[in-house]
Chains A and B, each alone.
Chain A
Amino acid sequence: MPDFVLYALVAGIGVAVVMGATGVFVVWRRMAYFGDTLAHSALLGVAIGFLLGINVNIGIVGVCLTIAIGMVYLRSQRHLAEDTLLGILAHSSLALGLVSVSFVSALRIDLMTYLFGDILAVTPADIGWVYGGGTVALGALAWLWKDLVAITVHEDLARTEGVNVLRTQIAFMTLFALVIAMAMKIVGILLVTALLIIPAAAARRFSRTPEQMAVFAAIAGSLAVALGLQGSLLWDLPSGPAIVVAAALIYVISLTLPARRAA
Chain B
Amino acid sequence: MRMPDGGPVQGEILVRGDGIGVRHGRRTILHDVDIQVCRGEIVTLIGPNGSGKTTLVRALLELEKPETGTVERKAGLRTGYTPQSLTIDRTLPLNVRRFLEMSGETVSDVLSVMLASVGAPNLMNQEMRLLSGGEQKRVLLARALLRDPDLLVLDEPTANVDIHGQMEFYDLIRRIRDERHCGILLVSHDLHLVMSATDRVICLNGHVCCSGLPGDVSTDPAYLELFGEAASAVAVYAHDHDHHHA
Residues of chain A whose beta carbon lies under 8 Å from any beta carbon of chain B: 27-30, 78, 146, 149-150, 152-154, 156-161, 200-201, 204, 207-210, 212-213, 262-263
Contact = CB atoms under 8 A, between A and B. Distances in A.
Nearest to A160: B81
Nearest to A212: B93
Question: Which of A27, A158, A161, A200 counts the most B-chain CB atoms under 10 A from its CB?
Answer: A161
Given A159-B63, A160-B80, 4 more contacts: A78-B25, A149-B102, A153-B86, A210-B93
A209 B83 contact: no
B126 interface: yes
B13 to A, nearest CB: 19
Contact of A153 (B25, B91, B94): B94
B79 interface: yes
Contact of A156 (B58, B94, B99, B127): B58
A-B pairs with the 7 shortest C-beta distances?
A160-B81, A28-B92, A207-B93, A27-B91, A28-B89, A204-B91, A156-B63
A235 B98 CA distance: 46
B104 interface: yes
The B interface, classified by DSSP as helix, strand, loop or mixed, is loop
Question: Which of A27, A28, A152, A201 counts the most B-chain CB atoms under 10 A from its CB?
Answer: A28
B95 interface: yes
B125 interface: yes
B193 to A, nearest CB: 25
A152 B99 CA distance: 12
B61 A160 contact: yes
A153 B99 contact: yes
A30 B83 contact: no
Contacts of B61: 156, 160
B86 A154 contact: yes
B90 to A, nearest CB: 8
Question: Which of B63, B86, B104 counts the most A-chain CB atoms under 10 A from its CB?
Answer: B63
Contacts of B127: 262
A262 B125 contact: yes
B103 interface: yes
B147 interface: yes
A248 to B, nearest CB: 17
B93 to A, nearest CB: 5
Contact of B102 (A30, A161, A207): A161
Contacts of A207: 93
| Size bracket of the B interface | 20 to 34
A153 B102 contact: yes
5 contacts: A156-B81, A156-B83, A209-B94, A210-B93, A262-B95
Contacts of B25: 78
Given A153-B88, A156-B58, A208 B81 contact: no
A28 B87 CA distance: 11
A204 B91 CA distance: 6
B63 A160 contact: yes
Question: Which of B58, B79, B92, B98 counts the most A-chain CB atoms under 10 A from its CB?
Answer: B92
A30 B93 contact: no
Contacts of A28: 89, 91-92
Nearest to A152: B92
A161 B93 contact: no
A217 B99 CA distance: 22
B108 to A, nearest CB: 14
Interface in B220-239: none
A210 B91 contact: no
Given A150-B102, A262-B127, A263-B125, A157 B91 contact: no
B147 to A, nearest CB: 7
Interface string B117-159: 0000000011100000000000000010001000000000000
A247 to B, nearest CB: 16
Contacts of A200: 91
A207 B95 CA distance: 11
Contacts of A146: 102
A82 to B, nearest CB: 16
Question: Which of A27, A149, A156, A160 counts the most B-chain CB atoms under 10 A from its CB?
Answer: A160
A135 to B, nearest CB: 26
